[in-house]
A and B are shown apart, each in its own frame.
With several copies, the nearest count.
Chain A
Amino acid sequence: MNDLDDLYREIILDHYKNPRNQGVLEGPTVHAQEGFNPLCGDEVTIYAQVEDDVVVDIKITGQGCSISRSSASLMSQAVKGKSIDEVKATVSRFKRMIAVEESEGEPEEVDLRVIGELAALQGVVKFPVRIKCATLPWNTLMIALEDAQAR
């Protein structure tokens, strides 16, 4: 049951049980976006407050499994206070780590110091079905930010 331990690391379970940045944001600079995982019914809503191209605040509501919820929670910590460009770089680093383009090759070696706590999600690589759980909040955030930039 080694792989399973790798998937459910302590940090994951912690973020699952005590998710950070839960709640709702309102206001003219808030961009809210819903996301669904059509396979399992996971739902997430991301509220990103963007001012001067900086994600000054982020909140999350929804329901989902340990992977999608902890991923959302870890994400909220990793992006809060960052500029949109920095966020985009983080998203892309994260996606390379969990090899979203699974079929196209091996997951890339990503500098774990840069990625910080997010590294805890690396275990998901061995469970292709769960990768969608991990990426759901990230993809949803990206749509919210595109929306922010478009306005």
Chain B
Amino acid sequence: MASVEVTDQIDKLRSDFPIFADIRASRPFYYLDSAASSQHPAVVIDAMDRYYRHSHANVHRGVYGLAEEATGIYENARKHLGRFIGANDPSHEIVFTKNATEALNLVAQGLGRVLLTSESHVLLTEMEHHANLVPWMILQEQLGFTIEYLPFDAEGLLVLDDLDAMLERASILGVTLMSNVLGTLNPVAMLSERAHQHDVLVVADGAQFVPHFATDVSELGVDCLAITAHKMLAPTGIGALWARAEILDRMQPFLGGGEMISDVRLDGFTANEIPHKFEAGTPPIAEAAGWDAALGYLEKVGMATISAHDRSLTNYAMIQLQERLDDRITIFGPPDVTKRGGVISFELADVHPHDVAQVLDQHGVCVRAGHHCAKPLMRQLGVGATARASFYLYNDEQDVDALVDALLDAYRLFHD
């Protein structure tokens, strides 16, 4: 059976991640919060270490060998990421940012200011993360357009009944490939096709999807894609925007400063070529080296293996949670595991998620509790917060069992 082989491989992989050995030596440790941020294999930590010990210099500006080496490391990471998501022109279509949030702000300001007027409509969904909501709201305050929202149903799936009418009014569609709360995998290839029929550009939030599924931007058909490194085994401090070269060409510069100019006079500036036009100041160089290594690691394991492992673990968890907690637990999002990624948000009876997470922590089980930066979605669900467990390639059924045990304990604490 495929999933057994996958699980065997995963068992071996965990030893690549120093944090598990280090923390487990002293206390129980079940890390179920990779949707917030993932852990790091030694190859990633070592790549940054090596960079700082052997190759550090500022990039793009130096003639000397070390600066050339650093530039090479940085630009290779760009190309690697481009290839990883199937970009047509890897060296020109990836803009490095500090995180996915900056990437989405860059699209809103860079593309939005070119496309939108006070008459325009931007179409978002009610399940977006704040990172794909607030940048549009800030721009809306500046330009005064209308924002509309695609709703979702009781299973956490987008309701597309009015899609064409909404697209007809819209200039931009912003949609997450995967909800960080519901786990929902949105039908983005189809949405892109429909959007393009109405000349609507598609801005996809790939923060949750790209770390877990093989990603091909041409298959998805999107125009822009925001990515963040720290959810895919890579360092903090770096993210990226991918966009088709002709979109990047049309976009206005966003952050001003060194690197992003081709000329500066006292009376104005001329922007540099893409992608440099959007990278102002010293970029995250060591972080790019680390991300490069993480991509290599993910490729070695295989994205298909990772998705399959996520799915089988999600399936196991859904069953265990329902069997052992029964009507004391409410799981949000699609019941069908083929429609969701490895993220499970839930409520434990009347125990507040904050209290759930607190009790779980005493068992060494790390889950997130809160609004998960998706307050409109929370209001839609009618809750103030949920607890959320999320899986990645280093998790296994023991993590799930520890979760369920701890939840039973939390329930008892509040019901005795």
A–B contact via C-beta, under 8 angstroms:
yes
Q: Does A57 contact B (CB under 8 A)?
A: no
Assembly CA distance A7 to B272 (angstroms): 27
Task: Say yes or no for B117: interface residue by CB 8 A criterion.
Answer: no
Interface of chain A residues 97 through 139 with chain B (CB within 8 A): 103, 127-130, 133
Tell me whether A41 is interfacial, beta carbon within 8 Å.
Answer: yes
A38 adjacent to B276 (CB under 8 Å): yes
Q: Which of B342-361 contact A (CB under 8 A)?
A: 352-355, 358-359
Query: Are A39 and B358 touching (Cβ within 8 A)?
Result: no
Residue B413 contacts which of A8, A103, A128, A129 (CB distance < 8 angstroms)? A8
Write out the residue numbers on chain B whose beta carbons fall within 8 Å of the beta carbon of A8: 355, 413
A residues near B358, Cβ cutoff 8 Å: 4, 7, 127, 130
Q: How far is the CA of A56 from the CA of B276 in the complex (A)?
A: 36
A-B contact count (CB 8 A): 71
List A residues 57-115 near B (Cβ within 8 Å).
Answer: 63-67, 69, 103
Tell me how far the C-beta of A121 lies from the nearest C-beta in chain B, rounded to whole angstroms. Answer: 14
Q: Which residue of A lies closest to B368 (CB)?
A: A40
Let me know if A40 and B369 touch, CB within 8 A. Answer: yes
From known contacts A64-B384, A128-B68, A130-B63, infer whether A38 and B262 are also in contact, taking CB-CB under 8 Å.
yes
Interface centre among A1, A8, A127, A129 (most CB of B within 10 A): A129
Report Cα–Cα, A54/B66, bound state, in Å: 44
Interchain CB contact under 8 A, A40 and B362: no
The count of residues in chain B whose C-beta lies closer than 8 Å to any C-beta of chain A is: 34
CB of B263 closer than 8 Å to a CB of A: yes
Which among B61, B79, B259, B358 has the highest number of chain A CB atoms within 10 Å?
B358
User: Are A66 and B355 interface neighbours, CB within 8 A?
Assistant: yes
B414 at interface (Cβ–Cβ under 8 A)?
yes
CB-CB contacts of B313-355 with A at 8 A, as 1s and 0s? Answer: 0000000000000000000000000000000000000001111
Rounded to whole angstroms, the CA-CA distance of A103 and B91 in the bound complex is 10
Contact mask A26-48 → B, CB, 8 Å, 1/0? Answer: 00000000001011111100000
- In contact, A41 and B352 (Cβ under 8 angstroms): no
| Minimal Cβ-Cβ distance residue in B for A4 | B362
**Which B residues are CB-close (under 8 A) to A128?**
68, 72
A40 and B371 alpha carbons, distance in the complex (Å): 6
| Chain B 228-287 residues near chain A, CB threshold 8 A | 259, 261-263, 270, 272, 276
Whether A39 pairs with B362 at a CB distance below 8 angstroms is no
Q: Is B301 engaged at the interface, CB distance under 8 Å to the other chain?
A: no
Tell me if B375 is interfacial: C-beta within 8 Å of chain A.
yes
Q: Which residues of A contact B296 (CB under 8 A)?
A: none
On whether A41 and B355 interact (CB within 8 A), knowing A63-B384, A129-B62, the answer reads no
**C-alpha spacing A130/B355, complex, angstroms:** 10
Say yes or no: is B378 at the interface (Cβ < 8 Å to chain A).
Answer: yes
A148 to chain B, nearest CB (A): 22
Q: A13 in the interface, Cβ–Cβ < 8 Å?
A: yes
**Interface assignment of B370: CB less than 8 Å from any CB of chain A:** yes
Docked complex Cα distance between A67 and B414 (Å):
13
Q: Across the interface, do B91 and A133 meet the contact criterion of CB distance under 8 Å?
A: no
Which of B75, B262, B352, B362 has the most chain A CB within a 10 Å cutoff? B352
Partner among B62, B72, B270, B378 whose Cβ is within 8 Å of the Cβ of A41: B378
| Contact across chains for B352 and A64 when beta carbons are under 8 A apart | yes
Q: Is the C-beta of B385 less than 8 angstroms from some C-beta in chain A?
A: yes
Residue of A whose beta carbon sits closest to that of B369: A40
A15 to B367, CA, bound (A): 26
CB of B353 within 8 A of CB of A65, answer yes
Contact A36 B262, beta carbon cutoff 8 Å: yes
Q: In whole angstroms, what is the CA distance A8 to B384 when docked?
A: 21
Task: Check if A41 sits within 8 Å of B63, measured CB to CB.
Answer: no
Chain A residues with Cβ under 8 A from B354's Cβ?
Answer: 40, 42, 64-67, 130, 133
8 A Cβ contacts from B368-392 to A: 369-371, 375, 378, 384-385
Give bound CA distance, A64 to B384, whole Å.
7
B83 to chain A, nearest CB (A): 11
Of the listed residues B61, B72, B369, B370, the one surrounded by the most CB atoms of chain A closer than 10 A to its CB is B370
B384 touches A39 (CB 8 A): no
Chain A residues with CB below 8 A from B353, complex form: 40, 65
* B98 touches A (CB below 8 Å): no
Asked if A42 and B263 sit within 8 Å, CB to CB, the answer is no
Q: Which residues of A contact B414 (CB under 8 A)?
A: 13, 66
Nearest residue, chain B, Cβ from A13: B414
Q: Judging by beta carbons under 8 Å apart, are A39 and B79 in contact?
A: no
Query: B60 at the A/B interface (Cβ < 8 Å)?
Result: yes
- Distance A40 CA – B259 CA, assembled complex (angstroms): 11
Q: A40-B370, A103-B79 are in contact. List 18 more A-B contacts (CB 8 A).
A: A4-B358, A4-B362, A38-B261, A38-B262, A38-B272, A39-B61, A40-B61, A40-B369, A40-B385, A41-B370, A41-B371, A42-B354, A65-B352, A66-B354, A67-B355, A129-B67, A129-B71, A130-B63
A-B contact pairs, 17 of them (CB 8 A): A3-B362, A8-B355, A13-B414, A38-B259, A39-B61, A40-B63, A40-B369, A41-B370, A41-B375, A41-B378, A42-B354, A63-B384, A64-B352, A65-B385, A129-B62, A129-B67, A129-B71
The 5 closest A-B pairs by CB, nearest first: A65-B354, A41-B371, A65-B352, A63-B384, A40-B370
